[in-house]
Every structure is written in structure tokens, then in C-alpha cells.
Structure 1
Amino acid sequence: MRRADRLFEIVQILRRTSGPLTADAIAAELETSRRSVYRDIAALVAQRVPIRGEAGIGYVLERGFDMPPLMLTSDEVEAVVLGAQWVLVHADEGLARAAADVLAKVAAIVPERLRDQIEDPAVITPPRWSERLDAGVDVARLRAWSLQGRKLHIRYADQAGRETERTVWPFLVGYMDRVRMLIAWCELRDDFRMFRTDRLSAIDYREERYPERRATLRRRWLAMINQQRDPEAT
């Protein structure tokens, strides 16, 4: 790997990592030596890339750093294409349009040698074989209410067809192959619940904001899911 490419990759690795990363971990991913990583990071710092390092802890890229013009590898282009294909098939109309726009933007800026991977890709997502059962649900609006941290009052039918009314705090919309899920804190159950959108018979979009931060709810829910998967993890 050329040094210029390695410098770019180090910035990419630090950007996608939430916590400090050691030189050994960076060296292992790049298949290079720790000494080379030390030299490369020193070169990046000299170029005013805001990398902060702490002995024995690792390196962190400060927030707000602007990358140079978009540079993508062949694998990264295929990842974008495959992800966009999945969104086009499984997401709501708003996200599907956004996915098509992303592909058009990427095709306009990547080098000519990579353009064929967008226009004639070697990856594919299977088509959706059946119609959506939640055609009457405005999933884009559910996403908006989740982002804004606003309450919903819903009427929901369980697997046996029993209906309940409840007020919920939505914070995520999950897209599966066959169904879409609204993930929320339920005031009725005083706990997290997942609601299939095809079982929502009525939705009242309320302007009232719920008291908890959306990011906090998301972290708590993910921690609960991880605990259920691995009870010995904590």
C-alpha cells in the first residue's frame, strides 16, 4: 500500500471508531508495522489533522475534521451500491429516492474506472416478492417523529388480533426483509416494545415531545438487546 493511501486509511479507521484505537490495532488492520503507524500519524498531525493520542490508550480523531474530496475504493463503491439496492427494495419511498440520489452522486464523482461498478454492478439484492402489508402507514413520518422525539398515540393489534391503545415514544424504525418495525418506549407497559407497522390500525402524530433523549433510549434498548443475546456479558 502506498504511503498516501495508508495515511488516508488511517483517517478513515479513526473516523469510524467511536473510542481510542491503539497503534497495534491500526497496524493490524493495515497489515503494516507499529513503527510505520507512529510515523504516519506524526505526518498527519504535522499536516494539521486533529489526531489526539494518549500513551497506553490510543488515538482519537477530533470531531469536525473535514475530509478531502471523496475518494472511494472498489470495495467501498460495491458496499454503497449493495446498500442502496437494499434500500431501494425495502425502505419507504422517501429513503428509496434518497438511495437513488446517492448512487447518482457517487457515479458523478468517482473515477471512470469505478463507474462501471455502479452502472453495471457485480452485486445484487433480490427483488421484493410480495406487496407491503403496511401500505397505508406513512413510514417516512414515523421516521420524522422518531428523529424529533415526539409522542405517538397508536392502536395496535397483537398476533392474536387483540387491539390495544397506547402512547409511545418512538426512537427507531427497523427495516427487515419482510416487515418494518417501530421501536419505542411504551407508556402502557412502562418498557420497550417493537410494533410491526402492518399491525398499526391507527396513528395519532402528537406534537408533544417525550421527556427522554432519543439517543439515551436507543442506547438503553441496544444494551437490553445485547444482554438478552448474551446474559453473561454483564
Structure 2
Amino acid sequence: MARPDRLMRLMTAFRRLPAPVTGQRLAEETGVSLRQLYRDIATLRAGGALIDGEAGVGYTLTEDPALPPQSFSRIEIEALMLALSGLEQIGDQTLAQAGRDAAARIIATLPDRQARQAMHTVMRSWRPADKRPPIAVDMDLLRAACWEEFSLHIRYRDLQDRPSDREIWPLGLSYGADALILLGFCRLRGDYRTFHVPRIVSAAPGASFRPQRVALLRAYIRQRRWRPDG
């Protein structure tokens, strides 16, 4: 893991976990050894973060000068926390954890009164238990393929359970209450297609199609077509 990513994960753990937090717990949260953790804490301190405590006692982040104070209205706080909490119900484990980390980071930048509002919001996200079938494909791979613009070789079963092998250029993911859809440009069909993610049996990375994603999305929006494939 790159050092900036590792340090950001450590700062997120400081904001999210009850203080003081032991070095062992921080090491587990960030996926590093204790020796590396102590080096990372020293790096953060050298960069200006005020971290009280020591090995064997526990640590407390008392100030993070890298984060400027933020100010939101009560309804803006409610909207942000409601949107992030919804990831627990529609997202996979990685996406849900990213929502929790983002919430912790937002709360850490708020004045005390607003931070309390964020931790005790009035609105809650709820929906019935997920009716979607289990997902076999790696969601991290699908997201990475969209972000980094590389093709995917997929094995897919359509709504009639007919199998096919496709190479697609993945363009985006749509999270709904009862469906998770991948939008892609199908090289086999030479056209846009939407795929039910639970029906993707397997996926493997292919070649780069950069920089065509933005142009393809714009063309798709102009066509206004968004229908499940098969």
C-alpha cells in the first residue's frame, strides 16, 4: 500500500475509533505491523498532527491541522449522513466501509455542536432485506475497470439464463433497491448493454480503452437508453 493511502487510513481510524486507541488495534485496522504503525504515527506527528499517547498506553488524535473546519446547516448534515448510511444497505462491504470512513472524516471537521448533530441524526435509511441474489464477481474489479478504463472479459447469463462470453467496456454502476446494474459498451454487439451484476458469472481484466469512457457516456445519455440486457 502506498504511504499516502496508508497514512490516510490511519487518520481515518483515529477519527472513527473510541479514544484512546491502542497501537495493536490501529495496526489491525490499517493492516500494517506495529513497527510500521509507530513509523506512520511519527510521520503524522512530523507533518503537524497532534497525537497524544505512546506505545503500551494508547493514542488520541487531538487535532488534525490538515482538515479545515467545515460548516453545514442541520438539513445538509442530515442529507449527508442519510446518503452515506444508505451504503450499508445497497453497497458491498468495501463500499459500506468507505461510507463509514467518509462519515468519520466529515464529523472530524465539524464544530462540536454540528458533530453531535451528525452523530445523532433524525433521519435513517431503511429498506427490507436485500432480495438480490448473491454476487459472484469481484466488485472492486468492476469499479476499478470503470475508473481506470480497461475492458472486462465476462461470462454472463441473461434473464433467460442463456450463457454468453463478452468483452465489454465498463462505463458505470447503478445501485437500486432491487437491482445492481453495470452499464457497458459490448464489443460483441457493438452497442450499449446493461448487465445485472449478480448474473455475471466471472470477470477478468482486459486491455485499456482510455480515453473513450466520457465520450461513450455522453453518447449514451443522449440516446437515453437504460434497459437491462436480456
Aligned match of 1:71: 71
| Residue 227 (structure 1) shift | 10
1:107 paired to 2:107:
yes
**C-alpha separation in 2, matches of 1:107 and 1:211:** 36
| Residue 185 (structure 1) shift | 0.3
Deviation digits for residues 80-100 of structure 1 (CA, Å, limit 9, x no counterpart)? 101101112211222211110
Letter of the 2:224 counterpart: I
Aligned match of 2:88: 88
Aligned match of 1:145: 145
**C-alpha separation in 1, matches of 2:217 and 2:69:** 32
| Residue 70 (structure 1) shift | 2.5
Q: Secondary structure at the match of 2:224?
A: helix
Q: For 1:125-144, what aligned pairs fall within 5 Å after superposition?
A: 125-130=125-130, 132-144=132-144
Aligned match of 1:3: none
TM-score by length of structure 2 reads 0.64
Letter of the 2:96 counterpart: A
Aligned match of 2:155: 155
Aligned match of 1:173: 173
Aligned match of 2:98: 98
Give the aligned length.
161
Aligned match of 2:205: 205
Q: Secondary structure at the match of 1:167?
A: strand
Aligned match of 1:220: 219
Letter of the 1:213 counterpart: Q
**C-alpha separation in 1, matches of 2:145 and 2:226:** 27
RCO comparison, higher one (Cα < 8 Å, 6+):
2
1:134, 1:197 within 8 Å by CA — same for their partners in 2?
no
Deviation digits for residues 156-204 of structure 1 (CA, Å, limit 9, x no counterpart)? 1111111111110001011111221111000111111100011111212
Runs (5+) with no aligned partner, structure 1: 1-67, 229-234
**C-alpha separation in 2, matches of 1:151 and 1:70:** 39
TM-score by length of structure 1 reads 0.63
Query: Aligned residues: percent identity?
Result: 28
Deviates more, 1:149-158 or 1:121-130: 121-130
| Residue 69 (structure 1) shift | 4.1
Distance 1:227 1:87, change over 3 A: closer
**C-alpha separation in 2, matches of 1:216 and 1:133:** 32
